[in-house]
A and B are shown apart, each in its own frame.
Chain A
Amino acid sequence: MDYYLNLINTIGIHTLLGLSAYLLLLTGQVSLAQAGFFGIGAYTAAIVTVIFEWSILSAIGAAMLVSGGVAFLVGFPALRVRGLMLVVATLAFSEFARMFFYNLKWRVVRDGAEIGPDGTMGFAEIRYFNNNGWLNWEVTIFLWVFVAVVMALIWWSDQTRIGAVLRAVGEDELAANSTGINVTVVKVAAMTAGGIVAGLAGSLYAHQVTDLDHHTFTVLLATFAIAYPILGGLSNVFGTLIAVLFIQGLLVEGLRFLGDWRMLLFGALIIVAMNIKPLGLFDNQTIRILRKALGVKRQRDSV
C-alpha cells in the first residue's frame, strides 16, 4: 500500500514541477531553472519546520515566497537571453542552486541531537509529518489538494484573457509588443509564477521524503520538469498530467523489472519521441480533434 502511496505522491509532485515549467513554456521561455526553484522550496520549507519548528502551512508559504522571490529576480536577467541561451542560463542557475545547497551548513542542537542542513551530508530528519502523527494516506491527500488547486487555477486562467496573453507572448513577442502587451511584465510574471509552483512542489517533497540530498536537484530533474509539458503538449494542463503519469507511472515504476536499465530506455524513448512528434504528444491538432469529437463548449461562451 505504501508503495502505491509513494508513487501517487511522486506523480503529484512531478505534476507540479511540470506545471511550473508549463507556465514558462507558454510564454516561450524554455527553462531548466525549475530544479533550482524546487530545491530552494524544499530547503526553505525544511528549515522552517525543522529549525524554526513552525507549522507545515507556514513552511509551504515560506517556500513559495522565497522561491517566488528568487524566480522574480531571475526573471529579469532572463529577459536578456533568448532561446538556447536561456536554456543554458537556467541550467546554470539550477546548478548554482544545487551547489549552494551542497555547501549549506546550518546545524542546531535540539533535544540533545544535531539537526539541520549539513552541507555535503544533506538534510536529514525532516520529520514534521511523523512527529505530528500524520498517516501516510493523509499526507497523500494533503499533497494532492495542492496539485488539484494549482491545476484548477492554471486551467481557469487559460479560459480567461490571461491564458491568451501568455500564449500570444509565446507565439510572437514582436507582435505582442506591437499589440500593446507589456512583454516584460508577462515574462517576469510567468517566471515568478513558475518559481512559486516549483517551490510549492519542493516544500511538499521535502516533507514527504524526509531527507534531502543535493543529488536530487540536478539537470536530470530539470529535464523531467521540462519534458512533461513538452511531451504532454501545451494545449492544456491535462497533457502535462498525462505525461507525468506516463513517464513516472509506466516508465519509472512500471518498468521496474528492467532494473537499472530503465534509464537506458528512458533516454532512448526521449530520442524517439522527439523524432516522431516534436511538438508534443497532445498538440493542437489532437486537441481540436478531441474537442470536435466530444462537442466541448467553445471558449468565448464562458466570458
Chain B
Amino acid sequence: MLKINTVSKHFGGVKAVDNLDLQVESGEIYGLIGPNGSGKSTLVNVVCGVLKPTAGDVIFEGRSMAGQTPSTRLRNGIARTFQNIRLFGGLTVWQNLWVARNSTEDIRSQSILRRWLGSGTALKKEIETMLEFSNLADKADVLASNLAFGEQRRLELARAVAAKPRLLLLDEPAAGMNQAEVAELEQRIRSLREQGITILLVEHVMQLVMGVTDRIAVLNFGSKIAEGSPNDIQENTAVQEAYLGHSDQG
C-alpha cells in the first residue's frame, strides 16, 4: 500500500534519511523504531508531505505523492498524529473533530454550503461516535488546551482518524504515557486495524511496539538496519548494538 522508494532527505550535510526502501502492506500494523536521531520523524514528515524528499519517491496505493501538500495527501487517505501534540488549543474538543471531518468522499459530495456550515444530524452523530470511541464524550465542550495529557493524546488520535484515512501514521503516540494508558492505546490501535486502517507506528515504547505490530523496521542514521517480526528484531544483534552501542554479553 505504501512504498517508500529509495527516499533520502538531507539537511545540508546531515543525511537524516539515507536511501531508505520500505514497504507497508495493506492491513498491516508496521512498526518503525530506532535510536534518537535515526530519522524516524523525518521520514514521517516526508511521507505526509511536510518535507520534500531530496531524492526518491513516496508511492501510495500505486500513485506517486510527489508535490502533494499535506492536506491533499489527507484527502487521498494518509493521516498522521504529531509527536508533540498539535491540537487546536483554542477550539473545543468538538470543534477539533468538526474541523477535521471534512475531507472524505461522502462529505465532499455534499454541497459546498453544507460542508462549510458543517451542519446536519449525520455529521453530529459521527462526531459523537468518535468521541465515544475515544472516551471523550463528556469533554466535548472543553477547550483542547484544558484537557489532561492523556485526553489530549486521545483527541489527537481521534482527529487523525476523523478524516477516515486508509493509512495512519502515528508519531510516538505513547510518549509520556503510563502502563495503563499504553495498554489502552494498544487496544485502540487494534480496533482501528479492525476498521480497516493500515497503521505505521513510530515508537520508542517497546511494550507497545512489540505487542501490537506485525512487522518492524529498525532505522539507524537514516538507513534501515533490520526488518522483520517483533521476535526477529528482539534477537537481532545489529539492533542491539545500535541501541546500546556494544554487543550484549547475554
Contact = CB atoms under 8 A, between A and B. Distances in A.
Chain B associates with chain A: yes
Interface of A: 160-162, 164-165, 167-168, 170-172, 174-183, 284, 288, 298-300, 303
Given A164-B98, A171-B88, A171-B90, A178 B70 contact: yes
B179 to A, nearest CB: 29
A283 to B, nearest CB: 10
B119 A174 contact: no
B117 A300 contact: no
Interface in B97-145: 98-100, 102-103, 115-121, 123-124, 140-141, 143
Nearest to A185: B71
B99 A168 contact: yes
Q: Most chain-B Cβ atoms within 10 A of its Cβ — which of A170, A179, A288, A300?
A: A179
Given A164-B118, A171-B88, A179-B71, 18 more contacts: A160-B116, A161-B99, A161-B117, A162-B118, A168-B95, A171-B89, A172-B88, A174-B70, A175-B82, A177-B70, A178-B70, A178-B74, A179-B99, A179-B100, A181-B102, A299-B92, A300-B94, A300-B124
Contacts of A299: 92, 94-95, 141
Contacts of B117: 160-162
A170 B99 CA distance: 13
A175 B88 contact: yes
Contacts of B20: none
B163 interface: yes
Q: Most chain-A Cβ atoms within 10 A of its Cβ — which of B71, B82, B120, B143?
A: B71
B90 A167 contact: yes
A167 B103 CA distance: 18
A175 B87 contact: yes
Contacts of B87: 175
Interface in B67-84: 69-71, 74-75, 79-80, 82
A178 B48 contact: yes
A284 B74 contact: no
Interface of B: 48, 50, 69-71, 74-75, 79-80, 82, 86-92, 94-96, 98-100, 102-103, 115-121, 123-124, 140-141, 143, 159-160, 163
B91 A167 contact: yes
A299 B142 CA distance: 11
A182 B88 contact: no
Contacts of A181: 71, 99, 102
Contacts of A178: 48, 50, 70-71, 74, 79-80, 82, 86
Contact of A162 (B50, B96, B116): B116
B180 to A, nearest CB: 27
Contacts of B118: 160-162, 164, 303
Contacts of A298: 141
28 contacts: A160-B117, A161-B99, A161-B102, A161-B119, A162-B116, A162-B118, A164-B118, A165-B99, A167-B90, A168-B88, A168-B91, A168-B99, A171-B91, A174-B50, A175-B82, A177-B69, A178-B50, A178-B80, A179-B100, A179-B163, A180-B71, A180-B163, A181-B71, A300-B94, A300-B98, A303-B119, A303-B120, A303-B124
Contacts of A177: 69-71
B186 to A, nearest CB: 24
Contact of B86 (A160, A172, A182, A303): A172
A170 B89 CA distance: 11
Nearest to B87: A175
A172 B90 CA distance: 10
Nearest to B143: A284
Given A171-B88, A174-B50, A300-B94, A164 B70 contact: no
